[in-house]
Structure 1
Amino acid sequence: MLAALIIVFREVFEAGLIIGIVLAVTRTVPHRNRWIGGGVLAGVLAACVVAAFAGALSNLFAGMGQELFNAAILTVAVVMLTWHNVWMARHGSELAGELRSAGQAVVEGSKSLLALAVVVGVAVLREGSEVVLFLYGVLAAGDDPAWSVALGGFGGLLLGALVCVLTYVGLIRIPMRALFATTTVLIALLAAGMAAQATHFLEQANWLTAMDTIVWDSGWLLSDSSFLGRALHTLIGYTDQPTAMQLVVYLAILLVTFVLMRIYGSPAKAMPEPAHG
């Protein structure tokens, strides 16, 4: 539940920032709500189509062996989560600037509202498609039942939307740098945990046998089956009996993520505060 909540909250918040910037810049344009709302709806519907195809793909490859299929889904989710962190580190601020420019062009009459609706729709589609893939990864990990993932996702949706609305109308002010830094670290830990879980599935299927010795057994102190153990497993990938390969993969994903963010990111540019209407 916690993983779904964090992932959906982050994606909804990012989409909400995009929509908020566009709404703030174009608040003097007649009928802007109708066009922007249409763009959001189109993006949501397109994301639903992606979800439907993801389900069909799941059924198509389910016969390859549950462990191998789960490992494949988790691997794709890890790649996408890692790329998401790196991409946002580099393009977050310039994306906001481009959206402001597009909104200003509509205000000045040099660009149509349809073009702005397309920009918003594509943004919602991108974030929605990432949510679909990430939640498939959470389900593939097998740590939470479907109802728990759905509940966490719904909670993340409501929380993200509420924070965006309150920020937009000026009731609260969130330091964007702190928020994105915190969620970036959480998503990196989630990705590392998913990678370790994918390694576990491959070990179960005997596709990965190297370095399969148990590094430690901390079940006497904190068991995987306990409430706190499950929560830490979701948040940081904790397991009470990790193999050497799981540990190496976990640390490697964290290292790769932060090295790529350091190399390709633009730490001098922070996600700007949203304009308040």
Structure 2
Amino acid sequence: MFAGILVTLREGIESFLVVGILIGILSKMGQADKNKYIWWGSGVAIALSIMLAYLIQWFSIQFEGTNAEVFEIVVAGIAIAVLSYMVIWLNKQSKSMNNSLKDKVVLALHQNQMWGLVSLAFVTIIREGIETALFLSALNGSAEGSGLMFGALIGLILAFIVSYLIVKATIRLNLRMFFLITGTMVVVIAAGLASHITMALQELGIVPLHELIAWDLSWFIHDESLLGKLLHAFIGYVAVPTVMQLVVYAVYIAVMLHLLWKGPTLFNQKQIRLQSDGLRHPIDE
């Protein structure tokens, strides 16, 4: 459930904030009547995202045995690739998100291209929707899916509340730091997913050293125990991992955290501050 909450909380906040910013920009410009184009783009993207999630689930039940395992591996691999790219991309883009959206809205209005407003909302929501659908489907296939969808729903509700409060400026939130911290947590979850893929590939005989076990902690924290399931959701814990699983897990985390936190992104406070003031006055710069 925790993984579902974290994924949709992070993706939902970005989506809701972008929609809020777009509507705020139009309101500031006296173009509130154009808000309908934002809602159209958002609605179509949400519908397609839900259809994609159901389509992935439908395909997953069409396969049996080895084919089912291969399908899960492919979905998980795509999810990790997309997630890894988006975590790094969002970290770089968050500091200029507001100005970039403002420029695109002004350009669309200047050229009287209302479909430009539709596409702005659509592209943002569908990007997050595809990422969320892939990641949740991969997590659902890697372990027991109990509570995952319920957690995803809770995450969306929390994301809406937080985004609403930010846009209304009742709270102040350093969005760059928020995305860095939640990005780090998502990377840890994705590392567990990468470890699961490695185990599946070893069982299929594609990756070697399946018999080389790192340790056996099943006597202490069994995979099927409540604590084992919680640790699996948080950090990808496995009681009896292979050495190759640990290598993949450690390398993925090391590379992603280096890319995520390197350079001035952490220490240059002028660059990492994107707070609610900017969201309240999106066209005043």
Smaller-chain TM-score bracket: 0.7 to 0.9
- For 1:270, the equivalent position in structure 2 comes to 272
1:26 maps to 2:30: no
Q: Distance in 2 between matches of 1:124 and 1:156?
A: 16
Judge conservation of contact 1:189–1:237 (CA < 8 Å) in 2. Answer: yes
| Residue in structure 2 matched with residue 13 of structure 1 by the alignment | 13
The aligned runs of 1:132-147 (5 Å cut-off) are 132-145=133-146
1:120-269 aligned at under 5 Å gives the runs 120-145=121-146, 148-210=147-209, 212-261=211-260, 269=271
CA deviation profile, 1:4-62 (whole Å, cap 9, x unmatched): 11111111111112112212211121313322211211111222333344345435555
**CA separation of 1:230 and 1:52: change in aligned 2, threshold 3 A:** closer
The equivalent of 1:103 in structure 2 is 105
Deviations 1:230-265 (A, max 9, x none): 112111111222110110010111122134446799
Is the CA contact (8 Å cut-off) linking 1:8 and 1:131 kept in structure 2? Answer: yes
Which whole-Å CA distance do the structure 1 matches of 2:206 and 2:264 have between them?
A: 35
Q: For the Cα contact (< 8 Å) 1:62–1:69, is it kept in 2?
A: no
* RMSD of Structure 2 on Structure 1 (CA): 2.5
Q: Deviations over 1:167-187 (max 9, x none)?
A: 111222222133112111111
- Is contact 2:53–2:137 with CA below 8 Å preserved after alignment? no
CA distance in 2, matches of 1:55, 1:91: 32
Q: Which runs of 5+ in 1 are unaligned?
A: none
* Aligned-partner SS, 1:31: helix
Q: Distance in 1 between matches of 2:84 and 2:5?
A: 18
Paired residue type of 1:190: I
What CA distance in whole angstroms lies between the structure 2 residues aligned with 1:71 and 1:142?
13
Given residue 35 of structure 2, which amino acid in structure 1 is its aligned partner? N
Count of aligned positions: 274
The alpha-carbon deviation at position 110 of structure 1 amounts to 4.3
Partners of 1:92 and 1:271 within 8 A in 2:
no
Report the secondary structure of 1:102's partner residue. Answer: helix
Indicate yes or no: 2:37 matched with 1:35.
Answer: yes
Contact 1:90 1:265 in 2 (8 A): no
Question: Residues of 2 paired with 1:265 and 1:2: CA distance?
Answer: 30
Normalized against structure 1, the TM-score is what? 0.88
Note the residue ranges of structure 2 that are not aligned, 5 or more in a row: none
Change (3 A) 1:52 1:241: closer
Identity %: 26
What's the TM-score, normalizing by structure 2? 0.85
